Chains A and B, each alone.
Chain A
Amino acid sequence: MIANAFEYTAPQSLDEALGLIAGGAKPLSGGMSLIPMMKLRLAAPEHLVDLARLKELNYIREENGELHIGAAVTHYEVESSPLLLGKCPLLAETAAHIGDIQVRNMGTLGGSVAHADPASDYPAALQALEAGIVLRSAGGARTVSAKDFFIDTFTTALEPGEIVSEIVVPVEPGLTGTSYQKCKHQASGFAVVGIAVRARRENGVVSLIRVGVTGLSGSSYRAENVEAALQGVEPTGEAIRAAAGLVAHSVDASADMQASSEYRKHLASVYTAKAIHAALSRSA
């Protein structure tokens, strides 16, 4: 399988890259989704700008109570970063679920987020973490919440000329527990459903809960009805089961060879309960 011919630039700086992208060139990061699409000729960009090795997009740092992760950081770097393992284990845990060793060595956080595959893993975590997604163009930068960024299948808040340049996650006190629970597609490794939960238990009741869902429908989302059902409530097995049962309520669930929409909804409630239990068990 040979891609259409294209022009390739490895820019020296982010400004150079953004200038070319403003002129219509397409960004290439790890290429784990784009290159297969180009080989199948589902995508035929005329000019690729390689962002993967730009220093300005390769960093993981803590600043003013927030973690800043450059878009070109690979999934392997996310899963193995001591800073993230210590201060944002949900993101590291989620990255470890992606693809296989070789894909995690090449694929990048920003590339995956920008691609917005409805069965990709990060969106669930970014929704639960209430992460910020920094979008940058030659004209400047803006930050969009995960909730507003993911719109539909392969559709995001990115405007022409913009790239995802950074993910921002607030650092939380140690008493918050998180978990990502995924029913994995046996062939592709993508999420049939994936549920990320961030929760805190104080004085016997749930004092904070955020639930991010991926794989179930055309776009990731926050299951706010599940959150509302558990907020301030004693998290008994019965209460968690009942709340988790709301996760797919009024959602247009996807159906494919792997799972009917009814079965996907069932999986979503089961995995939501699992993720809530796991997150609360890690809440100090």
Chain B
Amino acid sequence: MTRAISLTINGKHYEHDVEPRLLLIHYLREVAGLTGSHMGCETSLCGACTVELDGKAIKSCTMFAVQANGANIVTIEGLASPEGKLHPMQEAFWNEHALQCGFCTPGMIMVSKQIVERNPSPTDTEIREGLDGNICRCTGYQHIVNAVRTAAKAGA
């Protein structure tokens, strides 16, 4: 049995009938067609599926789409301006070479945005604690920490 949901994603209104067991990440990628958020571990450990739901970073692999009925979601696709100007956090990841393969990057950027929103001048320890729920298998994290610090200094 399906249920009707209606929600806002990156400023755009969406309405669909979905099965209650459909995970939010599958909804975003396969129904809404927004493939920027990645499905990594499927077990709430890696954070690649992180999106913002009503201003809070959450793991969209550990939430059913029906729970997001009425919510306002921002995914990685919604960070840059319509003209293509990158969000300061995206800019910092680019400038600091904070990615190699890029698979974890959407989630890293979404959680980093939350870290800086809640703590505008985080220490490196606070940044690392904030990134606790996101795994990167390429970079060794140092450049990601540099990017978050740089973005915070730039007032991201």
Q: Which residues of A contact B (CB under 8 A)?
A: 1-8, 10, 28, 31-32, 35-36, 38-39, 48, 50, 52, 76, 99-103, 105-106, 187, 189
Residues in A whose Cβ lies below 8 Å from that of B64: 8, 31, 35
**Contacting residues of chain B (109-130) with chain A, CB-CB under 8 angstroms:** 111, 114-115, 130
Q: Is B63 located at the chain interface by the 8 A CB criterion?
A: yes
Residues of B with C-beta under 8 A to A35: 62-64
**Interchain Cβ contacts within 8 Å, total number:** 76
CB < 8 Å neighbour of B21 from A4, A52, A100, A102: A4
Q: Which residues of B contact A105 (CB under 8 A)?
A: 56-58
Instruction: Please tell me if the beta carbons of A31 and B62 are within 8 angstroms of each other in the complex.
Output: yes
- Report yes or no: B47 in contact with A8, Cβ–Cβ below 8 A: no
From A74, which residue of chain B is reached at the shortest CB distance?
Answer: B56
B59 proximal to A (CB < 8 A): yes
Contact B58 A106 (CB under 8 A): yes
B94 to chain A, nearest CB (A): 23
Bound state CA distance, A48 and B115, in angstroms?
A: 32
- Any chain A CB within 8 A of the CB of B67? yes
A106 with B111: CB separation less than 8 A: no
Q: Are A102 and B20 in contact (CB under 8 A)?
A: no
Given A5-B20, A52-B67, A101–B62 Cβ distance below 8 Å? Answer: no
- Is B15 engaged at the interface, CB distance under 8 Å to the other chain? no
- Contact present for B132 and A101 (CB under 8 Å): yes
A101 touches which one: B63, B69, B115 (CB < 8 A)? B115
> How far, in angstroms, from A197 to B138 measured CA to CA in the complex?
40
Quick one: which of A4, A52, A99, A101 contacts B57, CB cutoff 8 A?
A: A101
| B67 and A6 form a contact (CB under 8 A) | no
Q: A residues within 8 A CB of B56?
A: 76, 105-106
Establish whether residues A103 and B133, one from each chain, have CB atoms under 8 Å apart when the complex forms. Answer: yes
User: Are A101 and B43 closer than 8 Å at their CB atoms?
Assistant: no
Kindly state whether residue B44 has any CB partner on chain A within 8 Å: yes
In whole angstroms, how far apart are the Cα atoms of A7 and B58 in the complex? 23
B54: nearest residue on chain A (CB-CB)? A105
Task: State whether A7 and B43 are in contact (beta carbons under 8 Å apart), knowing that A31-B67, A35-B63, A101-B115 are contacts in the complex.
Answer: no
Instruction: Name the residue on B nearest A5 (C-beta).
Output: B21
Asked if residues A102 and B58 are in contact (CB atoms below 8 Å), the reply is yes
B42 interface residue (CB < 8 Å to A) = yes
Top 5 closest pairs, chain A to chain B, by CB: A100-B133, A8-B20, A105-B56, A100-B132, A3-B21
Residue B37 at the chain A interface, CB threshold 8 Å? no
In this assembly, does B104 line the interface, its C-beta being within 8 Å of a C-beta of chain A? no
Contact, CB under 8 Å: B130 / A101: yes
Task: Tell me the smallest distance from the CB of B64 to a CB of chain A, in Å.
Answer: 7
CA distance A92 to B38 in the complex (A): 32
